[in-house]
């Protein structure tokens, strides 16, 4: 009896020691007291790789290091979001998921295949989406409100980048595309008898914009195949072209509007300039803010725990 109790005690001690040793394994990453284990890192890193992606050892290590830096930044930003009490509601997450699903209106199996390829369940994808929404809300609260664009900045940009606001000649045209010449000639006959171009495009055209009546929108020379340019820029407004052959089939064109080449004035260019400057200044503000979070944080990485990295543990 005594021996049995002694054996049980020793076994308990051994298990306890083994458990203690396992718990004593240092984290791979420590950010302001928040830990990330090597296993957690590798599981997250694996999801960033395509199953069939072939990497050299050097490429693999470089990607690991880059991903580790991204994780550090995410941990810092999530901590800041908690400090500033930035949250998103379940309704906001549901709305975002619904918006993403609109990209797959006919067959959601494509969405599921994409998630399966990334090794994500629907719940894990929802968690990822929630994280993205939180970080967007954090930037909207902590960073972007400090970014402003003055009228003087817009004027200065316009004066020093005038060539960007030269608009080439443009036309707005519709097209009908069919597979063979006989069908094209038949439709051309109907058009010349007064049939509506948009209506025939919706019924017979094979091009992607058929549902919009063949509307190609405005375009300038060089944006479409050369066979298009050779016809539409010389075609008078309201006129229908003869049948035009290209590698895509047989085309009929109707020019609806023309714009001559012009330079946008400051007022016309202002919104484009404001948007362009805002994006640039927001990016700079984001990097400065993130660098501030890094400089104030206590970050330690145990590089020895990453595969094939034999450096001593050191501060990040």
Question: CA-to-CA distance for 292 and 31, rounded, in angstroms?
Answer: 14
The confidence score (pLDDT) of residue 24 equals 62
Partners of 254 in the β-ladder: 174, 240
The confidence score (pLDDT) of residue 297 equals 95
The CA–CA distances, whole Å, from 295 to 41, 76, 302, 312 equal 23, 11, 19, 22
Helix (H), strand (E) at residue 115: helix 109-117
The confidence score (pLDDT) of residue 23 equals 53
Domains of the chain: 84-142 (no CATH), 169-260 (3.10.50.40)
Handedness of CA 145, 150, 155, 157 (dihedral sign): negative
In the numeric block, the tokens 């083994």 are attached to 18
Per-residue pLDDT of the chain (316 residues; tens, 9 = 90+): 434 433 333 333 333 444 444 456 788 899 999 999 888 888 888 878 776 778 888 888 888 889 999 999 999 999 999 999 999 999 999 898 888 777 765 666 777 777 777 777 888 888 888 999 999 999 999 999 999 999 999 999 999 998 889 888 999 999 999 999 999 999 999 999 999 999 999 999 999 999 999 999 999 999 999 999 999 999 999 999 999 999 999 999 999 999 988 888 999 999 999 999 999 999 999 999 999 999 999 999 887 876 544 333 344 4
269-274, long-range: CB < 8 A, 24+ apart: 269/158, 269/165, 270/154, 270/158, 272/165, 273/154, 273/157, 273/158, 274/149, 274/154
Please name which of 63, 27, 181, 52 lies closest in space to residue 118, comparing C-alpha atoms.
52
Q: How many CA atoms lie within 13 A of 90 on its CB side?
A: 1
The confidence score (pLDDT) of residue 106 equals 60
* 8 Å CB contact between 243 and 188: yes
What is the model's pTM? Answer: 0.62
Cα pseudo-dihedral 214, 215, 216, 218, rounded to 10: 160
Q: Break the chain down into helix, strand, coil percent, rounded to 5.
A: 60, 15, 30
Please name which of 228, 190, 189, 238 lies closest in space to residue 207, comparing C-alpha atoms.
228
């Amino acid at each position: 009896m005594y021996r049995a109790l002694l054996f049980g005690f020793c076994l308990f001690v051994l298990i306890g020691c083994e458990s203690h040793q396992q718990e004593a394994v240092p984290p791979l990453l420590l950010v302001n007291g928040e830990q990330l284990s090597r296993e957690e890192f590798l599981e997250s890193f694996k999801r960033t790789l395509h199953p069939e992606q072939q990497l050299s050892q050097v490429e693999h290590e470089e990607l690991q290091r880059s991903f580790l830096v991204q994780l550090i930044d995410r941990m810092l930003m999530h901590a800041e979001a908690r400090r500033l009490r930035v949250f998103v509601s379940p309704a906001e997450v549901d709305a975002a998921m619904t918006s993403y699903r609109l990209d797959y209106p006919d067959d959601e199996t494509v969405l599921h295949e994409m998630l399966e390829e990334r090794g994500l369940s629907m719940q894990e994808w929802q968690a990822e989406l929630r994280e993205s929404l939180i970080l967007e809300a954090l930037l909207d609260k902590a960073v972007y409100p400090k970014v402003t664009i003055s009228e003087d900045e817009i004027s200065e940009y316009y004066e020093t980048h005038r060539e960007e606001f030269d608009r080439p000649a443009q036309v707005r045209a519709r097209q009908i595309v069919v597979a063979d010449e006989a069908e094209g000639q038949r439709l051309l006959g109907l058009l010349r008898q007064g049939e509506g171009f948009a209506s025939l495009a919706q019924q017979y055209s094979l091009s992607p914009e058929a549902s919009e009546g063949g509307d190609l929108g405005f375009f300038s020379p060089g944006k479409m195949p050369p066979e298009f340019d050779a016809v539409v820029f010389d075609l008078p407004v309201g006129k229908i072209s003869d049948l035009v052959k290209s590698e895509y089939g047989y085309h009929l064109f109707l020019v609806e509007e023309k714009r001559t080449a012009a330079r946008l004035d400051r007022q016309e260019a202002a919104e484009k300039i404001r948007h362009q400057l805002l994006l640039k200044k927001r990016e700079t503000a984001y990097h400065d803010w993130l660098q501030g979070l890094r400089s104030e944080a206590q970050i330690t990485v145990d590089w020895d725990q990453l595969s094939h990295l034999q450096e001593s543990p050191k501060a990040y």
